[in-house]
Chain A
Amino acid sequence: DTAVSQTPKYLVTQMGNDKSIKCEQNLGHDTMYWYKQDSKKFLKIMFSYNNKELIINETVPNRFSPKSPDKAHLNLHINSLELGDSAVYFCASSQQTRGLGIQYFGAGTRLSVL
């Protein structure tokens, strides 16, 4: 069983489209994250939810909207995609309450905007 799974693995789309990436964790963790990794390998946090509540919201264009229907799921919806959105997006989870905060990552979604 994959601990943190995200779909799709690859996403190729045209500029201006809207797309979603889904993430699910079966570790029972209370906190989930979205990261963006650029071509230089820089890994930047975008959002974090703790028990469905948004707790980290970095300087991210409001075209990006996270949604957490329950604490095991954190989806990322992106409107009006731009060329600069091309990157690998990683979902992660951790146990923050009475936990060490070790993060477990999904395999990534490689987004290519043409």
Chain B
Amino acid sequence: SQQGEEDPQALSIQEGENATMNCSYKTSINNLQWYRQNSGRGLVHLILIRSNEREKHSGRLRVTLDTSKKSSSLLITASRAADTASYFCAPGGGGNKLTFGTGTQLKVEL
């Protein structure tokens, strides 16, 4: 297993702006998942991108994956105050173990 490292650690933007957060990992993967954690809650799965995919969309979320650079990005467009949360990436090597990092703490201000 391996740990994803999210960057930046913290991000503060205005409502309506786009938010981009990045994830880097070290070894080969089968897929990569992004999760959101609202304050005081458990993680919620957002999106999974397979290693043979380059981009995936879900609503206002856009995820890219560059396996040659071992990196992924999560873009949230037209952000809302409700998007305020921590975002975690989890590179998946094919087993059932996901290793999370410390996440990107996103704050969307009105």
Interface size on A, residues (CB 8 A): 26
Contacts of B86 in A (CB 8 A): 41
Contact of A43 among B40, B45, B48, B100 (CB under 8 A): B100
Q: A73-114 vs B: 1/0 string, CB under 8 Å?
A: 000000000000000001010101000111111111000000
Check A42–B43 contact: CB distance below 8 A.
no
State the main secondary structure of chain B at its contact with A.
strand
Residues B29-78 near A (CB distance < 8 A) = 31, 33, 35, 37, 40-45, 48
Cα of A108 to Cα of B96 in the assembled complex, Å: 20
Check A101–B98 contact: CB distance below 8 A.
yes
Check A42–B101 contact: CB distance below 8 A.
yes
A-B contact count (CB 8 A): 57
Whether A55 sits at the interface, judged by CB under 8 Å, is yes
Check B105–A41 contact: CB distance below 8 A.
yes
Check B96–A55 contact: CB distance below 8 A.
yes
Residues B91-108 near A (CB distance < 8 A) = 92, 96-103, 105
Q: Smallest Cβ distance from B69 to chain A, in angstroms?
A: 23
Q: Nearest chain-B residue to A94 (Cβ)?
A: B96
Contacts of B105 in A (CB 8 A): 41
6 smallest CB-CB distances across A and B, nearest first, come from A105-B42, A43-B100, A96-B96, A105-B43, A42-B102, A102-B45
Which residues of B are in contact with A by a Cβ distance under 8 Å?
Answer: 31, 33, 35, 37, 40-45, 48, 86, 88, 92, 96-103, 105
| 22 A-B contact pairs sorted by A residue (CB < 8 Å) | A4-B42, A35-B100, A41-B37, A43-B43, A43-B101, A43-B102, A44-B100, A45-B97, A45-B99, A55-B96, A56-B96, A92-B42, A92-B43, A94-B96, A101-B31, A101-B98, A102-B33, A103-B45, A103-B98, A105-B44, A107-B41, A108-B40
